[in-house]
Amino acid sequence: MPEYVCIVCPTGCILNVQEIDGKVIVSGNECARGAAYGENELKNPVRLLTSTVAISGAIHPRLPVVSSQELPKAMIEKCLEEVYKTKALAPVLKGQVIIPNVCGTGADILASRSMALVEAAG
Protein backbone atom coordinates (compact mmCIF):
# COMPACT_ATOMS: atom_id res chain seq x y z
CA MET A 1 0.00 0.00 0.00
CA PRO A 2 1.57 3.32 -1.04
CA GLU A 3 2.41 5.80 1.71
CA TYR A 4 2.71 9.53 1.14
CA VAL A 5 3.61 12.42 3.39
CA CYS A 6 0.90 15.03 2.95
CA ILE A 7 2.31 18.47 2.09
CA VAL A 8 -0.96 20.42 2.12
CA CYS A 9 -0.42 21.79 5.64
CA PRO A 10 2.41 21.79 8.22
CA THR A 11 1.04 18.70 10.03
CA GLY A 12 2.65 16.33 7.50
CA CYS A 13 0.25 13.41 7.95
CA ILE A 14 1.42 10.00 6.79
CA LEU A 15 -1.22 8.90 4.30
CA ASN A 16 -1.96 5.30 3.41
CA VAL A 17 -3.61 5.19 0.00
CA GLN A 18 -5.14 2.24 -1.76
CA GLU A 19 -7.57 1.65 -4.60
CA ILE A 20 -10.22 -1.00 -4.08
CA ASP A 21 -12.76 -1.73 -6.81
CA GLY A 22 -12.04 1.61 -8.48
CA LYS A 23 -12.51 3.59 -5.26
CA VAL A 24 -9.55 5.34 -3.64
CA ILE A 25 -9.35 4.96 0.14
CA VAL A 26 -7.09 7.32 2.07
CA SER A 27 -6.31 6.88 5.77
CA GLY A 28 -4.01 8.71 8.16
CA ASN A 29 -5.19 12.17 7.11
CA GLU A 30 -6.39 14.67 9.70
CA CYS A 31 -8.39 16.77 7.23
CA ALA A 32 -10.35 16.48 3.98
CA ARG A 33 -7.60 18.29 2.09
CA GLY A 34 -5.24 15.46 3.00
CA ALA A 35 -7.67 12.90 1.57
CA ALA A 36 -7.84 14.83 -1.72
CA TYR A 37 -4.04 15.12 -1.81
CA GLY A 38 -3.63 11.37 -1.25
CA GLU A 39 -6.06 10.53 -4.05
CA ASN A 40 -4.32 12.95 -6.44
CA GLU A 41 -0.91 11.50 -5.56
CA LEU A 42 -2.12 8.04 -6.44
CA LYS A 43 -3.99 8.90 -9.63
CA ASN A 44 -2.32 12.00 -11.07
CA PRO A 45 0.70 13.35 -9.15
CA VAL A 46 1.65 16.90 -10.17
CA ARG A 47 4.39 19.32 -9.17
CA LEU A 48 5.44 22.90 -9.81
CA LEU A 49 8.77 22.99 -11.59
CA THR A 50 11.38 25.35 -10.18
CA SER A 51 14.85 25.63 -11.62
CA THR A 52 17.26 28.07 -13.23
CA VAL A 53 18.25 28.86 -16.80
CA ALA A 54 21.48 30.35 -18.08
CA ILE A 55 21.28 34.06 -18.79
CA SER A 56 23.71 36.30 -20.59
CA GLY A 57 24.12 40.02 -20.18
CA ALA A 58 23.06 40.01 -16.52
CA ILE A 59 25.00 40.40 -13.28
CA HIS A 60 24.20 36.78 -12.34
CA PRO A 61 24.84 33.77 -14.63
CA ARG A 62 21.55 31.98 -13.77
CA LEU A 63 17.93 33.14 -13.83
CA PRO A 64 15.45 31.46 -11.46
CA VAL A 65 12.34 30.15 -13.21
CA VAL A 66 9.06 28.48 -12.25
CA SER A 67 6.26 26.77 -14.16
CA SER A 68 3.03 28.72 -14.57
CA GLN A 69 1.05 25.70 -13.37
CA GLU A 70 1.62 22.26 -11.94
CA LEU A 71 2.99 19.67 -14.36
CA PRO A 72 2.44 15.92 -14.38
CA LYS A 73 5.19 14.42 -12.24
CA ALA A 74 6.08 12.02 -15.07
CA MET A 75 6.89 15.02 -17.32
CA ILE A 76 9.21 16.88 -14.91
CA GLU A 77 12.45 15.28 -16.14
CA LYS A 78 11.61 15.93 -19.80
CA CYS A 79 10.67 19.54 -19.02
CA LEU A 80 13.91 20.02 -17.07
CA GLU A 81 15.86 18.90 -20.15
CA GLU A 82 14.26 21.81 -22.03
CA VAL A 83 15.00 24.22 -19.19
CA TYR A 84 18.65 23.15 -19.02
CA LYS A 85 19.27 23.82 -22.70
CA THR A 86 17.58 27.24 -22.66
CA LYS A 87 19.54 30.47 -22.47
CA ALA A 88 17.84 33.77 -21.67
CA LEU A 89 19.10 37.20 -22.65
CA ALA A 90 18.93 40.15 -20.24
CA PRO A 91 16.95 42.24 -19.56
CA VAL A 92 14.23 39.96 -18.19
CA LEU A 93 11.17 40.96 -16.18
CA LYS A 94 9.67 38.86 -13.39
CA GLY A 95 6.79 36.85 -14.87
CA GLN A 96 8.17 37.00 -18.42
CA VAL A 97 7.66 33.80 -20.41
CA ILE A 98 11.03 32.12 -20.95
CA ILE A 99 9.71 28.86 -22.49
CA PRO A 100 6.13 28.85 -23.78
CA ASN A 101 4.12 25.62 -23.53
CA VAL A 102 7.03 23.57 -22.24
CA CYS A 103 6.99 20.06 -23.76
CA GLY A 104 3.38 20.55 -24.88
CA THR A 105 2.07 20.60 -21.30
CA GLY A 106 0.23 23.91 -21.60
CA ALA A 107 2.46 25.37 -18.88
CA ASP A 108 4.89 28.20 -19.50
CA ILE A 109 8.26 28.54 -17.80
CA LEU A 110 8.36 32.02 -16.24
CA ALA A 111 11.15 34.18 -14.85
CA SER A 112 10.71 34.34 -11.09
CA ARG A 113 12.78 37.52 -10.77
CA SER A 114 13.77 40.46 -12.93
CA MET A 115 17.33 40.85 -14.18
CA ALA A 116 18.64 44.02 -15.71
CA LEU A 117 21.08 44.24 -18.56
CA VAL A 118 24.61 44.91 -17.31
CA GLU A 119 26.46 47.44 -19.41
CA ALA A 120 29.96 46.42 -20.45
CA ALA A 121 32.75 48.48 -18.94
CA GLY A 122 34.31 50.70 -21.58
Tally the C-alpha atoms within 13 A of residue 54's C-alpha that lie toward its C-beta.
Answer: 7
Neighbours of 59 (CB within 10 A): 10
Give domain limits for the chain. Answer: 3-44, 50-111
- β 62-67/50-56 pair status: antiparallel
> Residue 115 — very low, low, confident or very high, per pLDDT cuts 50/70/90?
very high
Assigned superfamily of 50-111: CPE0013-like (3.10.530.10)
pLDDT value for 1: 76
Q: What is the mean pLDDT of residues 39-58?
A: 96
Neighbours of 56 (CB within 10 A): 12
Q: What pTM does this model have?
A: 0.84
Sheet bearing 3-5, strands edge to edge: 3-5, 14-20, 23-27
Query: With 70 as the cut, is the pLDDT of residue 122 above it?
Result: no
pLDDT value for 2: 82
